[in-house]
Amino acid sequence: MPKTTLYSASSQPPRPYRVIISGGGTGGHIFPAVAIANELRRRQPDAEILFVGAHGRMEMTRVPEAGYQIVGLDIAGLQRRLTPQNLLFPMKVFRSVRKAGKLLEEFKPDAVVGVGGYASAPVLLAATSRNIPSLIQEQNSYAGLVNKLLSRRVDRICVAYDGMEKFFPTDKLVLTGNPVRTEITSGSRAEALQFFGLSPEKKTLLVIGGSLGARTLNEATAAALPRLREAGIQLLWQTGKLYYPQAAGQIQPFAADHLQALEFVQRMDLAYAAADVVISRAGALSVSELCLTGKPSILVPSPNVAEDHQTKNAMALVSKKAALLVTDAEAPVQLYDEALRLLSNPDQQLELSRNLSPLAFPHATETIVDELLALVARV
């Protein structure tokens, strides 16, 4: 089907700009999307921004909490085994692309941004078929399937790692880094210790398993609580919603020793400021935040992700001696041996921190919005 042009230099719509941001599914997609929207609105306060997500996914609540309107599509990913849902997949894609097309006709965006996730594909397919300027923001060091398939249709691809030309057309690539929350480096250690009720005399370990938590990290941390108390280490342990009731019981005998379990950390700036060492999954957003904050870390990549992309994210740091790696399978036995060694080795902490600094992209969000506005200006 030939492409039809909705916009031309002679019919460029008046300001304010209208932009659709599509995708979601995890915090690793949603937080960058909101960061892009916030920066666009900072520059263009009257910009009209519409998010498009997938029904039943976390963006349908998190995006409105951030102050933006969102529309949901009835779309989900393919299961890795034969299921009735897979048989319905082609019909869901067709319906979602058709609904996305109607949204585009009604909203008339100047540009569309895809951040990955189920809803990104139908919106970008509908946008590129209408020659609406389109941009992909790929967070990971191993590109997602949807972004690879759409890469030849979109106008610009913003990436966070070197070497992404093996997935995408070189002439469309811009190395920008990942958008992170602008306040992530704003906390002070003194404020953080007071906020969490921690001791300035003890070293602090921060454990974060992503927005949904991580069972391996939670189980390893629960088992290590007596060792942490004995070593005089204080703990901020973000468990995720599902594991928190169990963690609350496990942590209770250790509360007087500055060991804390938290369902979700709202003030991540203060959590990072308090931390001497971080244990984390290797999602794209977490890795980008660690680079920006310069915190020495032990990464435990999740094995339950497409193409094992978290291991590839982690190796981008480990290969530069900017982080340590413990596999998910090794974590129950080795994770806290490694954590206690690192906590007792300030020279190694300093080396990891120094090697993180060149990998940070503190102006990633601004650069992505620069690229987005440049696409609009070209039309």
pLDDT mean for each 10 residues of the chain (379 residues): 37 73 82 94 96 89 94 69 51 77 96 90 94 96 87 96 94 95 87 97 93 86 98 96 94 94 93 98 93 97 86 95 97 98 98 95 96 89
289 marked as part of a ligand binding site? yes
- CA dist 248 and 215 (Å) reads 15
- CA dist 339 and 349 (Å) reads 11
pLDDT confidence of residue 210? 66
287 marked as part of a ligand binding site? yes
pLDDT confidence of residue 230? 97
pLDDT confidence of residue 1? 35
Supply 281's token pair.
């999954």
144 marked as part of a ligand binding site? no
22 marked as part of a ligand binding site? no
44 marked as part of a ligand binding site? no
pLDDT confidence of residue 211? 62
15 marked as part of a ligand binding site? no
Residues with Cβ < 8 Å from 239, sequence gap 6 or more? 209, 213, 218, 247, 261, 262, 263
286 marked as part of a ligand binding site? yes
Structural domains of the chain ordered from first start: 9-178+362-378 (3.40.50.2000), 183-359 (3.40.50.2000)
pLDDT confidence of residue 2? 36
- Dump pLDDT digits (tens) for 135-187: 999 999 988 888 898 999 999 999 999 899 999 999 999 999 999 877 888 88
120 marked as part of a ligand binding site? no
284 marked as part of a ligand binding site? yes
Please tell me the number of Cα atoms within 13 Å of 34 on its side-chain side: 23
310 marked as part of a ligand binding site? yes
Q: Which residues of 213-223 are buried (b: 16+ CB within 10 A; e: fewer)?
A: bbbbbbbbbbe
Supply 283's token pair.
């999602």
178 marked as part of a ligand binding site? no
285 marked as part of a ligand binding site? yes
- Are the C-beta atoms of 229 and 254 separated by less than 8 Å? yes
Please choose, from the candidates 214, 207, 209, 210, the residue with its C-alpha nearest in 3D space to the C-alpha of residue 234: 207
Tell me the residue ranges of DSSP E strands in the chain.
Answer: 18-22, 48-54, 69-73, 111-114, 134-138, 156-159, 173-175, 204-208, 234-238, 259-262, 277-280, 297-299, 324-325
Q: Is it true that the peptide bond before 16 is cis, omega within 30 degrees of 0?
A: yes
106 marked as part of a ligand binding site? no
Q: What is the DSSP string of 26-77?
A: SHHHHHHHHHHHHHHHHH-TT-EEEEEEETTSTHHHHHHHTT-EEEEE---P
